[in-house]
Amino acid sequence: MRKVLDAAGKECPIPVIIAKKEIEANHADFDIIVDNDIAVQNLTKLASSKGYSVQSAKSGELITVSFISGGAGACEIMQDEEIQNVAAGVGNGSWVVFMGKDHVGEGAQELGSNLAKMFFYTLSQEEDLPASILFMNGGVNLPTKDEQVIEHLKVLRDKGVEILVCGTCLDYYGLKDELKIGEISNMYEIAGRMFRASKVVTV
Amino acid sequence: MSDNKQKRRLTEMVRNCGCAAKLAPGILADVLSGLDVPRNDNVIVGIENSDDAGAYRLDDGRILLQTLDFFPANNDDPYTFGQIAAANALSDIYAMGGTPVTALNIVCFPGSADISILREILRGGADKVRESGAVVMGGHTVEDPEPKYGLSVTGITDAEHLLANRNAAEGDVLILTKPIGTGIIVSALKGGIAGEGSAKEAVGSMTSLNKAACEAMGKFRGVHGCTDVTGFSLGGHAIEMAKASSLTIEIESGSVPVIEGAAELAEEGIVPQGTYRNKDFFGPDSRFAADFNEDLIFDPQTSGGLLISVSEEDADGLMRELKAELSTRCGIIGRVTAKSDKYLIVK
């Protein structure tokens, strides 16, 4: 569960200071709840200066600002139906996709590989996007060798989805120089994304 | 603290600090436009001019200046807050090229709070009024959960020395007599994260009277217009001056003195609410041709410096005089040009 800080009812600059102290203490993702737009704008500035991206979701008087590390300052404000999703814990930024192999399901390899291409195409067209897509073990074949999947991943990346690829796995398969998209990551980060996600989708 | 009546810090008792607490300029303009103001030939500068103080011609030809300024506590030290509020109120007289003569205290104070705090606030104010050469003749106190303090100040000048913001001239050079960034630093102080150097420079600047700067201006005939930079920010006050003079002001962003640490704090989101109101209202009249943080240009100042429009010939002389007399950092920050697409261009 990601940490949630409550700064509702606090005037500027207190929300920013609470968030700043959290970043400096833990270097992890977190949510902060505020009740005014100025606080959202100031938190967005803080995120940008610290290399985080933010997403905010409004629910009545309260606004939840989510700090997501490694996002280089992108900001997306969600509205209405997306807010419902956030309330249900399935909003953009709160769930992740885990790919531990390069195909979907078990059965014919060719079919599984085609289903993987279709899966990432479908994902790229979705309105509710995951915060991260995580590739491990045989999954690293996709961001290195599967040109169609790489194209879909580019679309997802441009929409702010984080793509993490297991470095140990790339080394094992000798694919490190072949990586076309995504950041080389490690078990600590990939497992951390899964632990803090509201849900993990595996195919 | 003498008893447990008052354990909270002064700035914890207020929502907005200093001039950041000013009503949004857009709302103010709306309200004033609906007001029927009686005309009087002796009013030289009135409510319609958005100037620092009102100016009224007396029978003997001298000009009476009147102004009023007060705001919620912006410093935890009551004596310092008193000094800042008084320096800020007196500044409007200096910005008109006048000499303060009399002052009246305006006080809001919680009935439950320690009265010795109020005494310190008033002592700070009285000391600054004394330094200005004026006298405090009285005041008025209202019970209010948020401590607020300021003064109504009356000053005198004459037609030759009266400096309205509407008289900037094309080709003039712009001088700013204090660094900007007090809104950001006051916010950081409230949150307990301002660096020692930043706090010292900001408090030193806010408690400094604009008296010496005003006296220096009085020595140069090439000084055409002046305003003091307060809640509407450097950008906002520059735009008001440009509008009143039907000209454009160009600010060289690299030349603007900025309080130590203010730029970094602004980038981290320590930006007072007033900045956003200033941006909303004045933003459309400005154009940023440089990569300079707008949050500095639109940062609401408390007891800010004088923004002086002076002829090119007199600019160096005035700068020499200011550098010799002022404890604050000052500089030539831009120029006045013919009206272009926007009233303010930040280069």
Report the distance separating Cα B298 and Cα B161, nearest Å. 29
How far CA B231 is from CA of B23, B123, B276, B328, in Å, comes to 9, 24, 12, 19
Residue B297's nearest CA partner among B176, B207, B210 is B176
Could you give the count of Cα atoms lying within 13 Å of B88 in the half-sphere of its Cβ?
32
Task: Give the three-state DSSP class for A58.
Answer: strand
Within this chain, do residues A65 and A124 fall inside the same structural domain, yes or no? no
Which class for A112: exposed (0-12), middle (13-18), buried (19 or more C-beta within 10 A)? middle
Active site residues of B: 19
* Helix or strand holding residue B40 (H, E): none
> From edge to edge, which strands make up the β-sheet containing A183-185?
A183-185, A162-166, A132-135, A95-99, A199-202
Chain A CA closest to residue B12: A11
Structure tokens at A186: 């490690």
Within this chain, do residues A99 and A176 fall inside the same structural domain, yes or no? yes
Which residue of A10, A11, A56 is the best one to mutate when testing the B interface, meaning the one whose CB has the most B CBs within 10 A? A11
Structure tokens at B11: 């700035």
Structure tokens at B58: 């007396």
Within this chain, do residues A146 and A54 fall inside the same structural domain, yes or no? no
Question: Which residue type is seen at A176?
Answer: K
- Running DSSP on this structure, what letter comes out for residue B209? -
pLDDT in tens, chain B (347 residues): 344 444 577 877 776 655 456 676 677 777 777 777 778 888 888 776 666 788 999 988 899 999 999 988 888 899 999 999 999 999 999 999 999 999 999 999 998 888 999 999 999 999 999 999 999 999 999 998 889 999 999 999 998 888 888 889 999 999 999 999 999 999 998 888 888 999 999 999 999 999 999 999 999 999 999 999 999 999 999 999 999 899 999 999 999 999 999 999 999 999 998 999 999 999 999 999 877 789 999 999 999 999 999 999 999 999 999 999 999 999 999 999 999 999 999 99
- Do B267 and A45 lie within an 8 Å CB cutoff? yes
| Nearby residues of A17 by Cβ (< 8 Å), 6 or more positions away | B191, B192, B193, B270
Q: Which of A66, A87, A108 is the last residue of a domain?
A: A87
Which residue of B17, B267, B270, B296 is the best one to mutate when testing the A interface, meaning the one whose CB has the most A CBs within 10 A? B270
pLDDT of residue B340: 92
Question: Which of B190, B193, B271 has the CB atom closest to A45's CB atom?
Answer: B271
- Do B191 and A50 lie within an 8 Å CB cutoff? no
Q: Which residues of B touch A17 (CB under 8 A)?
A: 191-193, 270
- The answer to whether B136 touches B152, Cβ cutoff 8 Å, is no
Q: Which residues of A touch B273 (CB under 8 A)?
A: 11-12, 38
Chain A CA closest to residue B184: A13
Q: Which residues of A touch B270 (CB under 8 A)?
A: 13, 16-17, 42
Q: Which residues of A touch B192 (CB under 8 A)?
A: 17
- Running DSSP on this structure, what letter comes out for residue B222? T
- Running DSSP on this structure, what letter comes out for residue B24? P
Residue A105's nearest CA partner among A121, A117, A116 is A116
Cβ burial B272-288 (10 Å sphere, 16+ → b, else e): bbbbbbbbebbbebbbb
Within this chain, do residues A104 and A82 fall inside the same structural domain, yes or no? no
The per-residue pLDDT for range B105-155, each reduced to its tens digit, is 999 999 888 899 999 999 999 999 999 999 999 999 999 888 999 999 999
Within this chain, do residues A47 and A7 fall inside the same structural domain, yes or no? yes
- Do B267 and A42 lie within an 8 Å CB cutoff? no
Chain B CA closest to residue A49: B268
pLDDT of residue A90: 35
Within this chain, do residues A191 and A124 fall inside the same structural domain, yes or no? yes
Question: Which of A17, A38, A45 has the CB atom closest to B273's CB atom?
Answer: A38
Within this chain, do residues A76 and A132 fall inside the same structural domain, yes or no? no
| Nearby residues of B123 by Cβ (< 8 Å), 6 or more positions away | B79, B82
Question: Which of A17, A41, A48 has the CB atom closest to B191's CB atom?
Answer: A17
In order of their start, the domains of chain B are 10-157 (3.30.1330.10), 165-346 (3.90.650.10)
Report the distance separating Cα B201 and Cα B185, nearest Å. 9
Within this chain, do residues A123 and A155 fall inside the same structural domain, yes or no? yes
| Nearby residues of B335 by Cβ (< 8 Å), 6 or more positions away | B171, B172, B173, B174, B249, B250
Report the distance separating Cα B150 and Cα B155, nearest Å. 16
- The answer to whether B112 touches B150, Cβ cutoff 8 Å, is no
Q: Which residues of A touch B187 (CB under 8 A)?
A: 12-13
Residue A91's nearest CA partner among A124, A115, A45, A126 is A126
Q: Which residues of B touch A40 (CB under 8 A)?
A: none
Within this chain, do residues A105 and A198 fall inside the same structural domain, yes or no? yes
Within this chain, do residues A114 and A195 fall inside the same structural domain, yes or no? yes
As for how many domains chain A has, the answer is: 2
CA distance B153 to chain A (A): 31
0.90 exceeded by the pTM?
no
Phi, psi angle pair for A93, to nearest 5°: 105, -15
- Tell whether A202 lies on the interface with B, counting CB pairs under 8 A: no
Task: Give the three-state DSSP class for B44.
Answer: strand
Domain containing residue A183: CATH number: 3.40.1260.10
Q: Give alpha helix (H) positions in A33-166.
A: 37-49, 80-87, 109-125, 141-145, 147-158
- Do B191 and A43 lie within an 8 Å CB cutoff? no
* Helix or strand holding residue B299 (H, E): none
CA distance B287 to chain A (A): 21
- Do A12 and B272 lie within an 8 Å CB cutoff? yes
Q: Which of A36, A70, A87 is the last residue of a domain?
A: A87
Classify the phi-psi angles of A63: left when phi > 0, otherwise alpha if psi is within -120 to 50, otherwise beta.
beta
Q: Which residues of B touch A25 (CB under 8 A)?
A: none
pLDDT in tens, chain A (203 residues): 678 888 888 877 889 999 998 888 887 889 999 988 889 999 999 998 888 888 888 888 889 999 988 644 444 444 444 444 433 333 345 789 999 999 998 888 889 999 999 999 999 888 888 989 999 999 999 999 999 999 999 999 888 888 999 988 998 999 988 899 998 888 878 888 888 888 899 98
Domain containing residue A68: CATH number: 3.30.110.40
Q: Which of A87, A119, A135 is the last residue of a domain?
A: A87
User: At CA B75, angle to CA B67 and CA B84, rounded to 5?
Assistant: 30
How far CA B189 is from CA of A67, B75, B76, B83, in Å, comes to 25, 8, 9, 17
Within this chain, do residues A28 and A60 fall inside the same structural domain, yes or no? yes
| Nearby residues of B24 by Cβ (< 8 Å), 6 or more positions away | B277, B280, B281
Question: Which residue type is seen at B325?
Answer: E
- Do B270 and A16 lie within an 8 Å CB cutoff? yes
CA distance A6 to chain B (A): 16
Within this chain, do residues A72 and A100 fall inside the same structural domain, yes or no? no
- The answer to whether B96 touches B76, Cβ cutoff 8 Å, is no
- Tell whether A12 lies on the interface with B, counting CB pairs under 8 A: yes
Strand partners, B135: B102
User: Residue A143 sits in which domain range?
Assistant: 95-202
pLDDT of residue B17: 52
pLDDT of residue B22: 63
- Do A12 and B266 lie within an 8 Å CB cutoff? no
User: At CA A167, angle to CA A162 and CA A168, rounded to 5?
Assistant: 145
- The answer to whether B321 touches B293, Cβ cutoff 8 Å, is no
